[in-house]
Amino acid sequence: MRHGATKHDVEVQDRAGYWELVRDNVNFRRLWAGQTVSLLGDWFNTIALYTLVSQLTTGVTGSSGSPLALAGVFLFKMIPWALASPLAGLIVDRFNRRWLMIWSDVARAVVVTGFLFIDDPSDLPLCYALITAQVVLSSVFIPAKSASIPNITEPRELLTANALSSATWSSMLAIGAALGGFATAWLGVQPVFVIDIFTYLVSAVFIFRATIPQDTAESTEPLLRSAYREILDGWRHLRTHPRVGRIALAKATWAIAGGAFVYMLTLLGDRVTASALAAGIGILFMARGIGTGIGPIVARSIFLDEDRWPTVLGACIAFSGVCYGVVGFVPWIPWSDAAVSLLVVIALVVLAHAASGANWVLTTVLLQKRTEDRYRGRVFATEWLLVMSAEAASILVASLLLEVRWLDLRTAFQVFAVVQIVCGALWLLVVVPKERAAAVAEAER
């Protein structure tokens, strides 16, 4: 039985600090350093891809390119990832996660080399194929990293490690998007892809130097023969452990409309910076990164009672929708004409993604705590399947509505904001009561 406030207070006071974690935990430090360098290159790569596809389709469709072609970048980043995630989760639980991350980095460096040869609209299929290969490799790397963190940290370090990991993702999004936007505008897309290649290789070196133990699932069956059964076993684990299954839905619930918001930021970039698409996208994605960096830090400091986290998740989903709804109503005026207008949009994007960042890190910690190590890779891979599927559906619907002009961009922000708010409300009405009942039952044992 829990000991109430006394036990909780002890756990909070004993929580490791950020500097303490990085200074004293050498294996986490090396994994974190690899993640930092790799993420910086990833965001350079992402801004360059958005710009490249927009440039290749501008001649026919206007200043910001085809909404559907640009959505293709998002969809080919998400759908292959969603489809590969179940098998990737099994691989992460079956094989050495450290080596999986190393080889994923090396292989992604090779794949990104192919982007250097894309310079014509007829090369779009090749571009999408390379994106697919890159994200399939990432679908192994990400759950391997998430599943490894509990194995290289003490219990008192776990929340701090996840908050730092999430804040790093956000910081690299902010820095990488801003620098990548301006670098793409000044240097062109090819040098940016070269930078991304280099960062993958540096990441591999850092992870090679780390020691990452794990409770590997033992099996004498060939991987492909046992894959279907073991993937179903992972899904069965979510179903038979409702406290895991419910939390695995939190990020996907945000993504039902959140994917459309992130996609529409790339279209909004052309509206807020005159004749500088890459810079506009970079500025708005920088705001997204700042928000997702602030959110986990604030959540770690304020929401100390873990039993209240499910309520916080639903509130964050709804609040994110409110912020993007306001984006749909404020004026969109290029920076050169009205700086205040852009600053208002930036502030709203920061707030929206501070909420999504808090949702992300609290969900991750709950899943890591509630899931056995031998199932953890499959649980995180399944969570990614749900997130990517929701984001892909959201982006596809938004891009089609914009392509056929059933909605303009402003109205699309407003419509998807309503969807997001409804999703948050449903979470609070359906999931939170079940979580409270489960917490009471556990306390009575």
Q: List, in order of start, the domains of the chain with CATH numbers.
A: 21-210+229-443 (1.20.1250.20)
H or E element in which residue 50 lies: helix 26-61
Q: Is the pLDDT of residue 6 over 80?
A: no
Say if residues 288 and 353 touch (Cβ distance below 8 Å).
Answer: yes
Residue type for 55, please? Q
Q: What is the pLDDT at residue 275?
A: 56
Q: What is the pLDDT at residue 167?
A: 75
Mean pLDDT of 138-164: 86
Q: Is 271 exposed, middle or buried (0-12, 13-18, 19+ CB in 10 A)?
A: buried
Q: Is the pLDDT of residue 8 over 80?
A: no
Percent of the chain residues past pLDDT 90, beyond the cut: 34
Q: pLDDT tens digit string along 430-442?
A: 999 999 888 777 7
Q: What is the pLDDT at residue 223?
A: 60
Confidence band for 2, pLDDT divided at 50, 70 and 90: very low
* 290 against 254, higher pLDDT: 254
Question: Lowest mean pLDDT: which of 80-94, 115-129, 320-334?
Answer: 80-94
Q: What is the pLDDT at residue 206?
A: 94
What is d(CA 36, CA 18) in angstroms, rounded to the nearest whole number?
Answer: 15
Say if residues 378 and 237 touch (Cβ distance below 8 Å).
Answer: yes
Q: What is the pLDDT at residue 5?
A: 42
Confidence band for 231, pLDDT divided at 50, 70 and 90: low
Sign of the C-alpha dihedral, residues 181, 51, 64, 386?
A: negative
How many C-beta atoms surround the C-beta of residue 114 within 10 A? 17
Q: What is the pLDDT at residue 62?
A: 42
Confidence band for 61, pLDDT divided at 50, 70 and 90: very low
Q: What is the pLDDT at residue 361?
A: 85
Q: Is the pLDDT of residue 4 over 50?
A: no
What is d(CA 192, CA 187) in angstroms, rounded to the nearest whole number?
Answer: 8
What is d(CA 286, CA 172) in angstroms, rounded to the nearest whole number?
Answer: 9
